[in-house]
Amino acid sequence: MQDPLKIGIAGLGTVGVGVIKILEQTAERIAARAGRPIAITHVSARTRGKDRGVDIGGYTWCDDPGALADAPVDVIVELMGGSDGPALVLAQKSLSAGKHFVTANKALIAHHGQALAESAERSKAVLRFEAAVAGGIPVIKALCDGLAANEIVSVQGILNGTCNYILSVMDQEGADFGDVLADAQRLGYAEADPTFDIDGIDAAHKLAILAAISFGAQIDFDSVSVDGIRAVSPVDLDYARQLGYRLKLIGRAHMVDGMLEQRVAPTLVPVGHPLAAVEDSFNAIVFEGVPVGQTVFEGRGAGEGPTASAVVADIIDIARGGDAPAFGVPAAALKKLSATPTEARQGRFYVRLTVEDEVGVAASIASLMRDHGISMDSLLQRGEAGKGEVTFVLTPHRCALSVIEAAAEARAALEVVLSKPAILRIQDQDDV
């Protein structure tokens, strides 16, 4: 058997500890599958003496994570997080030095993936980031290998377990967003600062990575349209059910007239769609490919076990000699695609507005929609006469997002409108 593959780990949080456990507790099985032993030799983290539940006394400690790039190791595993700072410095130094680099850092790849892939290829190093998207679900390997013969038409998914947990509980219990978020934080499903999760940024990082691989494109995080779930109300989940949908935070990318459209938004998904039944903190991704058709992946998207599993899978791939390009094709072959402009983004939408309960208010709303050239598919109303306010939910036929936004802005200016209109996406069953 070959000499051990030497590993240096930067970041000893939940995932870093999980990687140590797997490599130590299943060393014999890992060596058999990798074709050689895999040995951790160097580690780095913020605090040396912290009790992490694993013994790191046998590893060489580096106060500066950047020093791992100069250490006698073959693979650097970065688990610190952050798109810049120490994580970026370590990635750049490691790849420039010809050391293989494995990361679970979706922000790092979403912002710097193109440059890092180019650096890896120049130095003949391997860059891997399976754990950066959907935790333990092997979607990147599936795209690069199992689906390599296919033209990917679209990729979409539930890419953030925190948001899916919150929406699931809101749907099941009729609870308000703020209350469920507080419970999610108490249970450890949400961070103390949940901004990246609930505002859709985490999902957007993952979508940008998936889109780049799916369409052979240079990664373009800045072109992802991002809306989070802060404004979602229990009434939206109730109306969604009445209309035959479930409300999920969906990341979706597809080509429109040669341009790439990427968006993350709360979306009404038909009850028969694979994503509609995904509950709790699970993630799921759906690819539409030619000739394969629809392929669905579902599983845990975060946590020690799933994420560490993906990290170790990348290490095993490197131990076996896997040296395929990070994004499935050489970095120089990745195309720079134009982003679909906002005014060209078509779709169906759910519009909710609360208005004063006055005679003729429904007719006024219908007239305003007509003036903007919007035809209606359905209109639902909730509220009892004489109670002071009434809620309308409008679902226009397919039209441009810019038109819906202009109409919503005009409606918001009406004196009878009591709050900002809510606009949600509707995905039809036959959308690809």
Rounded CA separation 50/14 (Å): 13
Quote the radius of gyration of the chain (alpha carbons, Å).
24
292 CB-side CA count, 13 A: 18
Cross-strand pairs, 346: 400
Which residues have CB under 8 Å from 161's CB, separation 6+? 135, 189, 280, 281, 282, 283, 300, 301, 302
Which residues have CB under 8 Å from 290's CB, separation 6+? 150, 151, 153
Number of CB atoms found within 10 A of residue 117's CB: 25
Rounded CA separation 153/214 (Å): 8
Active-site residue flag, 206: yes
* Residue showing tokens 């100069």: 70
Question: Of 21, 206, 248, 420, which is the active-site residue?
Answer: 206
DSSP 8-class letter at 337: P
DSSP 8-class letter at 415: T
Rounded CA separation 371/213 (Å): 42
List residues with catalytic annotation: 206
